């Protein structure tokens, strides 16, 4: 289960925080990283650090390489052991916004093939392929972050962008409908507010058809 939390504290961008929970649903047990990796926690973390650094090094020289110069130290010092997700083919592990590079780079996600875990790692049952839907939810959250940045310009003045949630519907490979649930605090009083906008995938990137306010 992947969770996204947004808080706006008056800075240039809202603060976005990501977390994940992984369960054995048959017994209601929350899995920790050591269990999933089949290693001690120290060994599991060392494995993830090594993999993240290797993947970053592979990307060096690319035009969109935004990593800070001391990324190796940051990789080892800034990871939280609960920030991982069991996906279809890999274990995904991630860092928070601003941790490894500026906001423009989004948030860093790395992957570890299941066969790279320890010998004692439990088998991962087949998981329905939700990669495209997960990508869409990540993109929607990022788009709403950027949408929030324009609100100081006067649009959506009464809309509460400090506390909202969103849902996606009518999802296809190239289109989706984004619905934002929040409240409006106008001189007429406070009331629930629902905003909708169409998302479209253009040249491999999800975009909003318009700003939301």
End of a domain among 116, 146, 166?
A: 116
Residue matched to tokens 């990324």: 71
In a domain, 173, yes or no: yes
pLDDT for the residue numbered 33: 95
pLDDT for the residue numbered 128: 65
Asked if residue 141 and residue 109 are part of one domain, the reply reads: no
pLDDT-based confidence at 78, cuts 50/70/90? very high
Give the pLDDT confidence of 34-64 residue by residue, as tens digits: 999 999 999 999 999 999 999 999 999 888 8
- Which residues fall within 8 angstroms of residue 55, CB to CB, at 6 or more apart? 110, 111
Asked if residue 30 and residue 81 are part of one domain, the reply reads: yes
Asked if residue 107 and residue 12 are part of one domain, the reply reads: yes
What CATH number is attached to the domain comprising 11? 3.90.640.20
End of a domain among 116, 139, 171?
A: 116
In a domain, 122, yes or no: no
CB 100 within 8 A of CB 71: yes
In a domain, 121, yes or no: no
Asked if residue 188 and residue 111 are part of one domain, the reply reads: no
pLDDT-based confidence at 126, cuts 50/70/90? confident
Q: Does the global pTM surpass 0.85?
A: no
Asked if residue 103 and residue 6 are part of one domain, the reply reads: yes
Count of domains in the chain?
A: 2
Asked if residue 98 and residue 28 are part of one domain, the reply reads: yes
In a domain, 56, yes or no: yes
The DSSP secondary-structure symbol of 174 reads S
Asked if residue 204 and residue 166 are part of one domain, the reply reads: yes
Structure tokens given for 41: 């926690």
Asked if residue 50 and residue 12 are part of one domain, the reply reads: yes
Identify the burial level of 28 via C-beta atoms within 10 angstroms of its C-beta, where 0-12 means exposed, 13-18 middle and 19 or more buried.
exposed
**What is the overall mean pLDDT for the chain?**
86
For residues 112-139, average pLDDT? 84
In a domain, 125, yes or no: no
In a domain, 123, yes or no: no
Asked if residue 6 and residue 111 are part of one domain, the reply reads: yes
In a domain, 172, yes or no: yes
Asked if residue 108 and residue 182 are part of one domain, the reply reads: no
Asked if residue 28 and residue 107 are part of one domain, the reply reads: yes
Asked if residue 105 and residue 7 are part of one domain, the reply reads: yes
State the residue range of the domain holding 88. Answer: 2-116
End of a domain among 86, 116, 146?
A: 116
**Cα diameter, the chain:** 63
pLDDT for the residue numbered 132: 79
For residues 69-79, average pLDDT? 95
CB 99 within 8 A of CB 78: yes
In a domain, 147, yes or no: yes
């Amino acid at each position: 289960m992947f969770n996204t939390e947004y808080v706006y504290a008056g800075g240039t961008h809202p603060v976005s925080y990501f977390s994940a929970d992984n369960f054995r649903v048959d017994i209601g047990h929350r899995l920790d990283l050591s269990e999933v990796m089949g290693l001690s926690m120290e060994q599991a973390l060392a494995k993830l650090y090594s993999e993240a650094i290797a993947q970053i090094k592979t990307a060096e020289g690319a035009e969109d390489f935004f990593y800070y110069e001391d990324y190796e130290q940051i990789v080892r010092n800034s990871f939280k052991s609960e920030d991982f997700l069991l996906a279809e083919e890999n274990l995904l592990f991630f860092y928070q916004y601003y941790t490894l590079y500026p906001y423009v780079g989004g948030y860093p996600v790395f992957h570890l093939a299941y066969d790279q875990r320890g010998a004692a790692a439990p088998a991962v049952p087949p998981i329905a392929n939700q990669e495209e839907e997960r990508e869409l939810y990540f993109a929607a959250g990022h788009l709403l972050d950027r949408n929030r940045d324009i609100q100081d310009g006067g649009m959506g003045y009464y809309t509460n962008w400090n506390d909202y949630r969103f849902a996606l519907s009518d999802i296809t490979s190239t289109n989706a409908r984004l619905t934002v649930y929040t409240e409006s605090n106008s001189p007429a009083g406070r009331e629930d507010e629902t905003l909708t906008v169409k998302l479209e995938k253009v040249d491999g990137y999800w975009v909003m058809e318009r700003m939301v306010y």
